[in-house]
Amino acid sequence: MKKNEINNDLSENKPKKGLLKKIFSSKEGQKKVMNIVKAKKINNLYFYTDVNNILLILEHGIRLLKDQKLKKDEEYVVWTYLENNNSVGLEFDSSTRAHFWKWASESKVDIEKISVVGVDPNKLAKHTKNDWALDEAKNIVYVYEAIPLDVIDFIMIKDKANLKRIQTYVEANDIDIDVFYGETGNVDTKKERK
């Protein structure tokens, strides 16, 4: 990677803003994303992770890698596609997700272990303090802080062995998140089931 590419890597570096821009265009990136959300009628932003990470996400929300604090016996599987030291990447639900599936197949990720976490963009906007960035080429929204549990709308799981365990955890802890099985990987949201 060239030095310019490293400095422009939105997954690790917030876009640089001058003092006037900070004052007069607060949360400019977030506003841009929310305009797209409204114009394209986007219901959720998607976060892909290993099914084994779901219980930690249900306990702490989606944390930046640098903020992951694991107990001795805990493991957090990182694929580096949307999980970064300084940001969490999210895809629009209108995206073809071609980047993700191309990356997953090239990385030889076990597709059965993939879970999709649906984040409500409106709730996310209310709960985040930092501005976001949009990588238009990759169609990824970068959030530079932990994503709280309150903004997660649903979790789609392709692994039947973990499905019941996660559903039971959500019910036992009275967490308002829909957990469902996605055999084909297609997301079946609450809105579609009503």
pLDDT digits (tens, 9 = 90+) for 7-48: 456 766 666 655 545 555 578 899 999 999 999 999 999 999
Helix, strand, coil: what percent of the chain each, to 5? Answer: 40, 20, 40
138-150 pLDDT tens trace:
889 999 999 999 9
pLDDT higher than threshold 50 for residue 172: yes
pTM comes to: 0.82
- Alpha-carbon 180 to chain mean position: 17
> How does pLDDT run across 75-130, given as a tens digit for each residue?
787 776 788 889 999 999 876 566 666 777 787 778 788 899 999 999 999 999 99
Percent share of the chain, pLDDT over 70:
76
How far apart (Å, rounded) are the C-alpha atoms in residues 163 and 94?
A: 25
* Phi, psi (deg, nearest 5) at residue 147: -100, 115
Does residue 4 carry a pLDDT above 90? Answer: no
Which pLDDT score, from 0 to 100, does residue 107 have? 76
**3-193: what fold?**
ADP-ribosylation fold (3.20.170)
pLDDT for the residue numbered 156: 92
How high is the pLDDT of residue 99? 64
Across 111-124, b (16+ Cβ under 10 Å) vs e yields eebbbbbbbbbeeb
Domain residue spans in the chain? 3-193
CA distance 126 to 91: 18
Q: What is the DSSP letter of 47?
A: E
CB hemisphere CA count around 186 (13 angstroms): 3
- The residue whose two tokens read 């969490």 is 88
Residues 6+ apart with CB under 8 A from 140: 10, 11, 82, 89, 90, 91, 99, 134
Report d(CA 106, CA 109) in Å as an integer. 8
Q: What residue type is assigned to position 41 of the chain?
A: K
The residues near 66 (Cβ < 8 Å, ≥ 6 apart) are 85, 86
